[in-house]
Structure 1
Amino acid sequence: GLSAAVPASMDALHTDTSDGLIGLLTETIRAGDVVTVKGSLGSRMAPVVEALLGLDAGNGDDRRQPCAVGGQG
């Protein structure tokens, strides 16, 4: 799969639901990270993008905190 093809200097994440991906991303993403989201509306990637757009970097460290986002997996 893709994660085997990604260079060791990069991370690839996979979950069975978009809600699970939101949790993984918001726990691991840091200021300056580049994130690509690929998927259809049917795979519920819109909530993932909304969560990423809602991140706030103004909390004093370089870990971003998510805002509340609704959505189903």
Structure 2
Amino acid sequence: MLQDGISCYDGNKKENFTLRAHILAWTGDLPALSKVLYLTGHNSYSGCRFCNLQGTLNETNKHVYYPLQQGIDPKQLPI
């Protein structure tokens, strides 16, 4: 249906036309976007939907951190 469009009527010009619409942006809070876009949640190793930043797991509290520099030892992260 996206390729073919739908037949619509223009009341101003009094003629039919083919309507084609595409979603350009989708907004919402992180849980809603995660569900709609099939993304992982904010506490996952790849929590950002825009970049390739990888998280580091802290074994103490089982939380994933995103340090500014990659390759940091998780035991050296501040709690």
TM-score by length of 1: 0.28
Structure with greater proportional strand content? 2
Specify which structure has the bigger relative contact order, considering alpha-carbon pairs within 8 angstroms and separated by 6 or more residues: 1
TM-score under structure 2 length normalisation: 0.27
